[in-house]
Structure 1
Amino acid sequence: MSEIKTINQLEALYPKPSPRAQNKVLPTLDRHAKTMVNHTHFVILSTCDALGFTDISPRGGVPGFVKVVDDSTILIPDSSGNNRLDSLRNIINNPKIGLMIMVNGIDEVIRIKGRASIHTDSEILAACPDGKKAPKVVIKVTIENLYFHCAKAIMRGKLWSGEYKVERSILPSLGQILKEQQSLDCKDIDQKEMVKYYKSTL
């Protein structure tokens, strides 16, 4: 296998990007990006841990759960999860983050780079509810650049069509997976019980 080790080797394999692709990066949200943020129900948050490894975390909510403050600022509530706090710890150590903004029915996505900070101010918490309640903290993102990513990946994966949807039964419940992975001596929690637990903690 031939390993690519230099930028020159890499670039030799690909045609140069078009001027339109090269020039599409924006410093702030425009009206189209704001429309995407205002309708998003699913965001992928990328942070970097203390060892330099990239960590990816999904964030979901009703459309509008991510709030536009101004052209350079958005707010993301930290919804209930597993309490590992990986992304939040990473932001404290390194505020540089990446975001992917997605909307069901739109194959283009928005990629954002910026700096994040964590806030507990009552006004910010109230402006960015986690469902029907205020979150413990809100992630404030100051945008440094963004652009619309073309639709090809979403189209290839047929993400919104449901064509590649599988039956949940191809995997045991997460409770059963963790029991096996960690050799736990505990009650077997089936998928029905897991869903009931999930819904009780949303």
Structure 2
Amino acid sequence: MTREQTGITSEAELEQIYGAVAKPSLTKETDHIHPAYRPFIETSPFVALATSGPDGLDVSPRGDAAGFILIEDAKTLLLPDRRGNNRLDSLRNILHDNRVALLFLIPGIGETLRVNGTADITTQPDLLSRFAVNNQRPKTVLRIRVERVFFQCSRAVIRSKLWDPAGQITRDRLPSPGAILHQLSQADIDG
């Protein structure tokens, strides 16, 4: 069998196909929130939170007003957990495996920021109060210890036309959440 038939099975094979990592790709990585990266976090109204647990992987959207994730110091981020659907997939995963990854998106900006680290879940009253919005405190706050930070170039966002209004579709082209629940529950839930 040829490699095309069996698939890639080693890093050496990958490197043979893709070549060496370019110097800028290595230079952009830091082990802390560098001042050049602070604006990405302070301006982002959206982050995808990736976790891993006994039932597998999870990526969960988190969003709020720009700057909702606070930089406590160069090695620590604070992420409030606002009211949601109470599945708690990410939080349950963190209890088993505290490794997390964050992908920050900023509307209209092609570059993204990636942060890897570890997290713990806290209910410290002072932190919950610090994140209160309209007198509503989050249930918990994630304290994320930063291990790796780097920006990702805009190629994927450009190719996907994510921020291009011409590429946006109207809501009626997809089923609504109610319609999905109606179908999945075999009409037990009225959408």
| Residue 52 (structure 2) aligns with | 48
Q: Decide whether aligned partners of structure 1 residues 50 and 32 sit closer, same or farther in structure 2, where only a CA change above 3 A counts.
A: same
Determine if the alignment matches structure 1 residue 160 to structure 2 residue 179.
Answer: no
Q: Decide whether aligned partners of structure 1 residues 57 and 186 sit closer, same or farther in structure 2, where only a CA change above 3 A counts.
A: closer
Determine if the alignment matches structure 1 residue 121 to structure 2 residue 124.
Answer: yes
- 1:4-32, CA deviations, whole angstroms, 9 ceiling, x for partnerless residues? 11212111111212112123210100112
| Residue 31 (structure 1) aligns with | 35
Tell me the SS of whatever aligns to 1:139. strand
Shift of 1:148: 0.9
Q: Decide whether aligned partners of structure 1 residues 164 and 24 sit closer, same or farther in structure 2, where only a CA change above 3 A counts.
A: same
- 1:161-201, CA deviations, whole angstroms, 9 ceiling, x for partnerless residues? 222211111122211111111213343x3xxxxxxxxxxxx
Look up the equivalent residue of 1:67 and give its one-letter code.
L
- 1:30-50, CA deviations, whole angstroms, 9 ceiling, x for partnerless residues? 112111111110000000021
Structure 2: segments with no counterpart, 5+ residues: none
Determine if the alignment matches structure 1 residue 74 to structure 2 residue 77.
Answer: yes
Tell me the SS of whatever aligns to 1:148. strand
Tell me the SS of whatever aligns to 2:101. strand
Matches within 5 A, 1:1-202: 2=5, 3-51=7-55, 53-130=56-133, 133-187=136-190, 189=191
Q: Decide whether aligned partners of structure 1 residues 186 and 144 sit closer, same or farther in structure 2, where only a CA change above 3 A counts.
A: closer
Tell me the SS of whatever aligns to 1:90. helix
Tell me the SS of whatever aligns to 1:31. coil
Identity over aligned residues, as a percent? Answer: 33
Look up the equivalent residue of 1:41 and give its one-letter code.
P
After superposition, the CA RMSD in angstroms is 1.5
Structure 1: segments with no counterpart, 5+ residues: 190-202
TM-score, structure 2 as length reference: 0.92
- 1:131-172, CA deviations, whole angstroms, 9 ceiling, x for partnerless residues? 652101111111011111111111111212222211111122
Look up the equivalent residue of 1:144 and give its one-letter code.
E
